[in-house]
Amino acid sequence: MTYLLKSRSEPTQLLPASSEEQQRKINEVRELLGDLPTEMPNFLSDATIRRFLRARNWSTTKATKSLKETTSWRRHYKPEKIRWESIADSENEAKRAYIPDYLDKNGRMVFVTLPAIKTKTSEKDHLKYLVYNLETLLMYSEDAEEECIVWISDFQGWAISSTPFSLTRQSLHIIQQYYPGLIAVAILTNPPIIFESFWKIIKRFLEPRMNEKVKFIYSNNSESQKIMGDMFDLDKLEYIFGGRNTAEFDINMYAERMKRRDRVRGSWTQDNGEASSNNTKPNED
């Protein structure tokens, strides 16, 4: 599968020439949203609208459509109310997906998933946990000028039974539709040969821009090792990804960290899932 290491050209993005042009597009989207900005004034902030515009190649029509679908989903799903205590089998789920306490060398947050570990929860609960993580990542990323999440997954020992197709498809839909413009790069490490067939199906559900962000990494490949060394502090990066960090995952410490983030998120959001009017960067302390 060395062909998966081939570099992909970046997709063309019609970036507005000036901040004034960006603001004009943001204002146009506000008009197209009708009464929604009044219903969710803080969620539909300039930062949110800019993120959706960026993800939709600065098309006001596509960004508006996506925002309308997202606000409808948020109104019914209420993702802002999900807390650590409401996660089913949180200990096992956290071992499968977690937000580590380090950033990459560009200061971007990292989201780790280990799909080879089978989930013990229903698809509904699994998706709820995904949304919980995305809400946390969103809180720290909302004002970013560009995509700022590095998603890294280890597929060592993966089997088709590890990741049901329907679950993968629903997860991709949530990420691409309701949280666009967050993922900067998606790193898939050590996928087995059997993953190739699975990938050929899954990539059909990837938006072109998301597909361009995927990198396949192999621990026994020198080019892969260089990529990881360029992106991460190897003293902090877990050994399964080629780093030197061999510390065991401490569920108790992680649970406390997420509970602190829940408290921050609670003060940062309102009951309808909107961002707080306080635009300062969230602080866990």
- Residue 17 has a pLDDT of 59
Mean pLDDT of 27-41: 91
Tens of pLDDT along 200-236?
999 999 999 899 999 999 988 999 999 999 999 999 9
Residue % of the chain over a pLDDT of 70: 88
- Residue 279 has a pLDDT of 40
Domain ranges of the chain: 19-77, 86-264
Q: Which two tokens stand for residue 168?
A: 């993968």
Tens of pLDDT along 123-132?
999 999 999 9
- Residue 78 has a pLDDT of 93
Highest mean pLDDT among 34-38, 60-64, 268-272: 60-64
Of the listed ranges 95-104, 119-128, 157-166, 252-261, the least confidently predicted one is 157-166
Tens of pLDDT along 52-76?
999 999 999 999 999 999 999 999 9
Which class is domain 86-264? alpha beta
Instruction: Record the pTM.
Output: 0.87
Which is more confidently placed, 15 or 100?
A: 100
E strand map for the chain: 97-98, 109-113, 149-154, 183-189, 214-217
Mean pLDDT of 29-45: 89
Of the listed ranges 194-198, 252-256, 266-270, the least confidently predicted one is 266-270
Confidence check: pLDDT of 107 > 90: yes
Q: What average pLDDT is seen over the chain? A: 87
Mean pLDDT of 254-259: 96
